[in-house]
Structure 1
C-alpha cells in the first residue's frame, strides 16, 4: 500500500461519538449554562451573548464617546468531530462552516486560524495534514488567509477554525432585527444531517451533501446585504426550527413556515425513512416543540425541519435572487413558529 493509499484504510467518522454540528451541546442545556455569564460591559460591543447570534461583533475606529461610524470586527470559533470519512473533505467542510458565521453576520472574513484536536496514537499525521489542506484550500477560495492555529493531542479528532471578519456596523445581519411582514428565504436545502448520519452508519458517500457543505455562504451574504436585509442567521446544528426559534425570540416576532416550500437534498427523505436520524436532531425537536405549532405536519417532516445541519445555508429575513421563500415573519403570537 502506498502512502497515498493509506488514508483509505481509515473511516474518520468511526473515531467520533457524533458527527459535525450534530455533536453540539443541546441548545437548551447550552442556554442554561451561559445564562448568567456576562463579561465587562462595553459600549463598543455590538453583538454579544444576549441573543446567541452567530458571532460576536465589536465597533472599532470611532471616537470613544460616539456609537456610530468606524468598523465592525466580527469574531467566531467553530469546530467539530468528523462528519465524513474523507479527511480532505472534512477539512473543507469544517472551514466553510466556520467562515459561515462571519457571512451570516454580513461581514467579510479576513483571517482564520486552525483548531485541531488529533488522536496521534490512533490516526496517522498524514491524515491530519489532509484535514488542514482542505481547510487551507477553502480559505484560499474565500480569499481569507489561514495563518497558524493551535493543536491538541486528543482521544477524538476535531477540527475547525477561529475566524475574524470585518463589516459595516450599521449594516450587520443580526438575529434580533426581524420585522413582521418580512419573507423568510433559505439558501441551501435541508437534509445534510440525515445523509451524514447514513454515511456514518453505512459508509455510503453522498456527493450532493458534500457539495452543499463545502459551498461558501459568501454570495448569499452579499445578496442579502444588497437586498437591504438586516436580519439573518445560518442553519447549522440546531436545525432550521432551532435557529428560527432563536431569531423569532430575539426579534420578538413569530414565524409561519410553508413546509411545501422548504427544499431538501436528494436522498434525505429516504435516509429519514430508513432511520438515520441523529440524537442531536431529536434533541433539537424536543427543544423547539413547546414553542411551535406543528399540528399541520407529520413527525417525519418535523424531524427534517429540526435536522442538525453542518455548514448549512443562510436563513434570511428578506428575498434574494435564486433562493426559495419558505415563510414569513409575523407579529408575535401564541407560538413562535407555526408550520402550516
Structure 2
C-alpha cells in the first residue's frame, strides 16, 4: 500500500459513482440531444443503456463506453483497480468482451505526488490484464480533484446483446453482487475505516456473470452503479414496459452495510436516487430499507432479467406493467 500519508478520498467532494449527476437531472440535460441514427446503430442514447453499440457485420458489433470518477477509497492502487473494473463492467453488462481500454486521468499535480498516480494506473492495468484487455495510452489533465477511469471498446454478437429494454413479464430479477458498498465507502471516507469486503466486491469483474447470462440465453441486463438498485431497475423496467417486483428480504448485502446505514453514512447521491424513483414506487418497507435499495454503488453487480446457473440471487420478478414501475414488498 502506497499512500505517502495522503488519504485520496479527502481530496474530492464525493466518491465513486455517488458523484454522478442525478439521473433525473441528467435525463433533462440530454433530452433531445440524440444525433442522427444509422442502420448500424443498435443501441444509442434512447434508454440510457450501459454502452453504445454499432453493428459492423452480421456477426460483429462494437461496443463503446467510458466511465471515470473521484476516489472511492484512500489507497491509490485499489482506487485504480476499482475504477477499471467499473469501466469494464459496462461492456459485460451489454454481453460483450472488452478488447481495448485507454486511461482517463485528472490529477491535482500541486497537491498529490505523481507516484500515487502511477499506483492508480498500475491498479487499472492489473484489472484490465485480468480481463484480457490491453490498455493503450489515454488522456490526462491537471485537475483540482483526482479522477480516474477508462474508455473501453468491446465486441459482441449483434444477436446476443444484453440490453436494458429487453426484460419481459414472467422473468425473474437476478442480482449478481451484494449491495452496500455505497454506505461502506461513505463510512470509509468519513472515518478511514477499511472494509475489505467492499473492496473485494468492487474489484471483482462481471465477466463470469456476463458469461452465465449469455449461456442461459438471457437478453436483458444492466449493471448496478451510481443510481443504485432502484434507479437502474427503474430504467430497465421503464424501457421494457414492465413492472418490477422486489422481495426486499431476498436482497443480499455486504457485512456492515446495515450498521453503516444505522450510523448515518448515507450519501447525497443515494437520497437523490430514492427521490427520483419515488413517484413510480409502491413500497411496503420502511425508509431505511429503501435507502439501502437506492444505495449508490460503485462497480456493482449485474442486474439480470432471468435466472443463471451460478453466481446470482433471485430478488424478485417482472410482471405486466402496473401503475407503479417498481413495487417493493
Q: Could you state the TM-score of these two structures normalised by the residue count of structure 2?
A: 0.99
| Residue 15 of structure 1: how far off its partner (Å) | 0.2
Q: Which residue of 1 aligns with 2:282?
A: 293
Q: Which residue of 2 aligns with 1:66?
A: none
| Residue 8 of structure 1: how far off its partner (Å) | 3.8
Once the two structures are superposed, residues 195-217 of structure 1 have per-residue CA deviations (whole angstroms, 9 ceiling, x without a partner) of: 00000000000000000000000
1:53 and 2:49 are equivalent in the alignment: yes
SS at 2:116 equivalent: helix
Q: Which residue of 2 aligns with 1:249?
A: 238
Aligned equivalents of 1:144, 1:195: Cα separation in 2: 29
8 A contact 2:198–2:254 mirrored in 1: yes
1:181 and 2:177 are equivalent in the alignment: no
Aligned equivalents of 2:37, 2:176: Cα separation in 1: 35
What 5-or-longer segments of structure 2 have no aligned partner? none
Q: Which residue of 1 aligns with 2:14?
A: 18
Q: Which residue of 2 aligns with 1:306?
A: 294
1:138 and 2:127 are equivalent in the alignment: yes
Equivalent of 1:275 in 264, 270, 285:
264
Aligned equivalents of 2:237, 2:46: Cα separation in 1: 14
Aligned equivalents of 1:21, 1:153: Cα separation in 2: 21
Aligned equivalents of 1:78, 1:174: Cα separation in 2: 18
Q: Which residue of 2 aligns with 1:65?
A: none
Q: Which residue of 1 aligns with 2:327?
A: 338
| Residue 323 of structure 1: how far off its partner (Å) | 1.4
Equivalent of 1:318 in 292, 299, 306:
306
| Residue 70 of structure 1: how far off its partner (Å) | 3.2
| Residue 322 of structure 1: how far off its partner (Å) | 3.3
SS at 2:165 equivalent: coil
Matches within 5 A, 1:183-198: 183-198=172-187
1:165 and 2:161 are equivalent in the alignment: no
Aligned equivalents of 1:337, 1:232: Cα separation in 2: 16
Once the two structures are superposed, residues 246-304 of structure 1 have per-residue CA deviations (whole angstroms, 9 ceiling, x without a partner) of: 0001001001000000000000000000000000000000000000101x101110000
Q: Which residue of 1 aligns with 2:104?
A: 115
Once the two structures are superposed, residues 170-196 of structure 1 have per-residue CA deviations (whole angstroms, 9 ceiling, x without a partner) of: 010000001000001000000000000
Aligned equivalents of 1:323, 1:249: Cα separation in 2: 23
| Residue 38 of structure 1: how far off its partner (Å) | 1.4
1:261 and 2:261 are equivalent in the alignment: no
Aligned equivalents of 2:37, 2:144: Cα separation in 1: 38
Aligned equivalents of 1:41, 1:23: Cα separation in 2: 30
Query: How many residue pairs get matched?
Result: 328
What 5-or-longer segments of structure 1 have no aligned partner? 62-68
Matches within 5 A, 1:57-68: 57-61=53-57
Aligned equivalents of 1:80, 1:136: Cα separation in 2: 17
Equivalent of 2:194 in 205, 210, 223:
205
Aligned equivalents of 2:257, 2:264: Cα separation in 1: 11
SS at 2:25 equivalent: helix
| Residue 40 of structure 1: how far off its partner (Å) | 1.9
> What's the Cα RMSD here?
0.8
